[in-house]
Structure 1
Amino acid sequence: MQTIGYAAHAEKADLAPLSFERRELRANDVAMEILFCGVCHSDLHQARNDWGGAVYPLVPGHEIIGRITAIGSDVTRHKVGDYGAVGCVVDSCMECDQCARGEEIFCRHDVTQTYNSPDRVTQENSKGGYSKHIVVRDHFVLHVPETLDVAKAAPLLCAGLTSYVPLRMWQVGPGSRVGVIGLGGLGHMAVKLAKAMKAEVTVISRTDSKKQDALTLGADTLLVSSDEAAMASAASSFDLIIDTVPVKHDINPYIALLDVEGVLNIVGQIGPLPEVMTPGLIMGRRKIAGSPVGGMAETQEMLDFCGKHNILPDVEMIRMDEINTAFDRMEQADVRYRFVIDMASLSI
């Protein structure tokens, strides 16, 4: 299938148009016309090879909403004309212990990511959602609840899921005290999801400039982390803190905010952190944890939860040819709270 997308052609280059072929359908494949694709901070990191391992040309995009245009002969879960959703993973071995328990992202035999990852059959590098069409193994295509606005739903596939996983993993529910560090793409979804789970939610930020935004999103209050008195007063007051900060930062002040057996769950920074002092962990039986996105069953659960509670990210719609400006703005945190590309702006 001939298609077109936008790709990084080199480490420091702007994204530019790329024509390429999508594979022919296998028996267990679904073909989709992509309608909307979210812009994730990891797209920027991968395109610029910040983490290493980028293979060019690299077509980013792993927050995908599309319409199914064809299905393989063995596919029964989807039909032509349905909306479909694709997140960060498009294939796995489906045989190891992790795949068997619905945690395909931890596949023992290397998960195939939506882009910049070798196809299990051909070894060709995968290309993501900044494109007009995509072909994905049926198991990794999710159903989109009818109640969700498809124009806004794409960021749920990464930002939404990344925030949902720790909330479920640490059993957040009525009465849970949840802190959210950072109010960006991940943080604003964590606030919305935690409130829907009936938790008490506090946004933790260096200044009070985002207080009204936090309250509008549903948070109960905002804690200023640079205010030593306020931080001291908040000691031992959280069951779970979700840390969405995407750069190296000191987590020690946040450990003191955890109650006994509380958890600081990191979902933002991929890389080094400063030295961690252990007395607060040991004396309070506190935990530092991390989590990525979830498996397919949990992803569908998250979409259904958002459909039930009408939870959607706050988005700014852009054209495909505005992606380089969007990347620059994202580096400056100049977006509330997620860019979504309208793929109607991309023509073959």
Structure 2
Amino acid sequence: MTTRPSRTGREVRLATVPSGLPEPTDLTITEVPLPEPAPGEILVRNHQFLVFGGLRTLLGGDAKDTPVPTLRPGDTLFGPALGEVAEAPAGSAVRPGTLVSHPLGWREYAVVPEADCVVVDPAHPDPVAGLASGSTAYGALTRLARVREGDVVLVTGAAGGVGSLAGQIARLLGAARVIGTTGSPAKAGRLVEELGYDAVVTAGSWRGAAAGEEPGAFGARLAEAAPDGIDVLLDNVGGPQLTAAVAAARRGARFALVGALSGQFAADGSGAAAPSEIDAFQVIVKGMTVRGYTGVDHPEMEAEWAGRLAGWLRSGRIRVPLTRVPGMDGAPRALREMIDGRHFGTVVVELPKSSP
């Protein structure tokens, strides 16, 4: 039976509401007493947790109607995590030593309702890959955009946690051509060489244009990459990239919006708004659909995605690029580095699996 290696654990808390983009100093690592699980709860020692862009908005103080609660000073950050059960209540189907996923990352130890823990299949080829935001990409592409054989698919923000999987998923669903966008020529090369994108359009920033670039230059590059237009958009960015995608859309195009990084990662503001200019006339005459995707609207998606991911990993048909940040001390910095675009793919913080 797993025993408690210490009487305290560390967690990352919001110290102050950021003024603009969050800095590592806006977060603090606090040592707290090891939590005691109540009946129906499980104590988990976390091994890895996800660093994801939506935290910028949850930290900003102005977000409303979000699927998960916003954070206030003193609150512990949260997000998908993978860990080992340290203590379980009598009669529980989950035993100490079992590997589980749950939503309370950003801490060494988490007390989690048993209903919120998902036991990881011991035969899973790569449990850490399950932390990636692939269910968002898969759900949007299957439930909203409904990718069909022969589609031309555009994925904005293709080098992030969602985008690095979205292009591969689109191909597995039958897309004939997959195009991505990113702000980095080096990342563009990796998207083509490692993840199978057919073409990548570079944008100078999350706002969709390089400094000093003529208006419409990004749209011109997109038109060159997709001369016959696009059938599907999986949009992580919004802003001018969404504007250009409307202009490039074919008749009957299906747009699934899953992120708004043009506003969330903007240096000004709180990350809670992402204004975009859309030509409504084009939407009408092209018979387009434009819909937003959130996982809470599709609760069945996590289990379906987990099965598809495991199968595709076993067959070698999908890759999950991971950036691994060692130790709790690196977590505050990892969030800012991800926002600044310094990492490729999914970013996870890895904690020691044994006591210091």
TM range (shorter): 0.7 to 0.9
2:112 corresponds, among 101, 117, 136, to 136
**Which residue number corresponds to residue 277 of structure 1?**
279
Structure 1 position 339, deviation (Å) = 2.2
2:156 corresponds, among 178, 181, 188, to 181
Q: Does the residue aligned with 2:254 lie in a helix, a strand or coil?
A: strand
Q: Does the residue aligned with 2:320 lie in a helix, a strand or coil?
A: coil
**Identity, % of aligned positions:** 17
* 1:67–1:206 Cα change, 3 Å: closer
2:251 corresponds, among 253, 260, 275, to 260
CA distance in 2 between counterparts of 1:188 and 1:73 reads: 42
CA distance in 2 between counterparts of 1:279 and 1:35 reads: 50
Structure 1 position 17, deviation (Å) = 2.0
**Which residue number corresponds to residue 192 of structure 1?**
168
Structure 1 position 305, deviation (Å) = 1.2
Structure 1 position 174, deviation (Å) = 4.0
TM-score normalized by the length of structure 1: 0.75
Q: Does the residue aligned with 2:45 lie in a helix, a strand or coil?
A: strand
TM-score normalized by the length of structure 2: 0.74
Q: Does the residue aligned with 2:233 lie in a helix, a strand or coil?
A: strand
**Which residue number corresponds to residue 15 of structure 1?**
27
* 1:313–1:58 Cα change, 3 Å: farther
Structure 1 position 6, deviation (Å) = 1.9
**Which residue number corresponds to residue 289 of structure 1?**
291
Residue 13 of structure 2 aligns to which amino acid in structure 1?
A
Equivalences for 1:152-191 in 2 at 5 Å? 152-153=128-129, 155-156=131-132, 159-169=133-143, 170-183=145-158, 184-191=160-167
What do residues 145-181 of structure 1 show as CA deviations (whole Å, max 9, x unaligned)? 423323x32532xx22222210121333543432101
Residue 77 of structure 2 is aligned to residue 65 of structure 1: no
2:42 corresponds, among 30, 34, 37, to 30
* 1:23–1:320 Cα change, 3 Å: closer
What do residues 71-124 of structure 1 show as CA deviations (whole Å, max 9, x unaligned)? 345644x4332211124xxxxxxxxxxxxxxxxxxxxxxxxxxxxxxxxxxxxx
CA distance in 2 between counterparts of 1:166 and 1:274 reads: 20
Structure 1 position 261, deviation (Å) = 2.1
CA distance in 2 between counterparts of 1:199 and 1:261 reads: 16
1:231 corresponds, among 223, 226, 237, to 223
Gaps of 5+ in 2: 1-6, 19-24, 65-69, 203-216, 261-271
**Which residue number corresponds to residue 123 of structure 1?**
none
Gaps of 5+ in 1: 88-127
Q: Give RMSD over aligned pairs.
A: 3.0
Structure 1 position 55, deviation (Å) = 1.8
Q: Kindly indicate whether the alpha-carbon contact (under 8 Å) linking 2:100 and 2:120 is maintained by their aligned counterparts in 1.
A: yes
Residue 233 of structure 2 is aligned to residue 241 of structure 1: yes
Structure 1 position 249, deviation (Å) = 3.8
CA distance in 2 between counterparts of 1:304 and 1:291 reads: 20
Structure 1 position 35, deviation (Å) = 0.6
Q: Does the residue aligned with 1:344 lie in a helix, a strand or coil?
A: coil
CA distance in 2 between counterparts of 1:233 and 1:222 reads: 8
CA distance in 2 between counterparts of 1:257 and 1:285 reads: 13
What do residues 5-37 of structure 1 show as CA deviations (whole Å, max 9, x unaligned)? 122222244322213357643444333211101
